[in-house]
Amino acid sequence: MLNDKQEKFAQAYVLHRNASEAARTAGYAEASANNQGYRLLQSEEISDRIHHLEQELETNVDVISEIEKQYTYAKENGHTNSAIKALELLSRVRGSSSDVNINMDEETLEDAIVGCLNVLGENKVINLLTKCNFADNLFLEDYDQNGGTESVTEGPSEEALDLPLPEEADSPV
């Protein structure tokens, strides 16, 4: 059976999803809130109570639908940080176990990555790519479809120079 502070901690944790904040809200000292929050989350009885409280939550709002609308709006209007935050919230609301049930084949994974890169935008993606372990190779060599490399210093091939003009492209970018 939980004492009053432990019950308050469990309730506050459900609201804040932050152990230190929940410990402060429950009345634990500011100086020890980090340690207390961590310690309390290790207790099986408290973890069970948090899980039980999460299962009891009811709302008249379709939370997932609302967050998906916010994500769509943020993505369409170039609000990258808001779009990422909406995705984080969706992940929390849907629960971490939902990822386990997804069969992610290579094509689905690539589509998901492309979607994320589109949200971030060209400049951010290039900035992130420069931080990769293979960034030197990326900017010094072109990779062909078979995984081999073709040196950029040799100059582009005839086929590479024969790109369609934007108005000739099959689909809009």
Q: Tell me what pLDDT residue 75 has.
A: 86
Q: What is the pTM of this model?
A: 0.38
Q: Tell me what pLDDT residue 35 has.
A: 93
Taking residues 129-133, report their average pLDDT: 82
Counting residues of the chain whose pLDDT is more than 70, the rounded percentage is 71
Taking residues 136-145, report their average pLDDT: 56
Q: Name the DSSP class of 64.
A: H
Q: Tell me what pLDDT residue 163 has.
A: 43
Kindly report, as residue ranges, where domains of CATH 1.10.10.1400 are found in the chain.
Answer: 4-56
Taking residues 20-27, report their average pLDDT: 92
At 40, the pLDDT band (50, 70, 90 cuts) reads: very high
- For domain 4-56, give the fold: Arc Repressor Mutant, subunit A (1.10.10)
Q: What crossing angle do the helices spanning 44-56 and 4-16 adopt, rounded to 10°?
A: 50
Q: Tell me what pLDDT residue 22 has.
A: 92
E-state strands within 5-127? none
Q: Is the pLDDT of residue 153 over 70?
A: no
Rounded to whole angstroms, how far apart are CA atoms 93 and 146?
A: 40
What is the token pair recorded at 67?
Answer: 């967050």
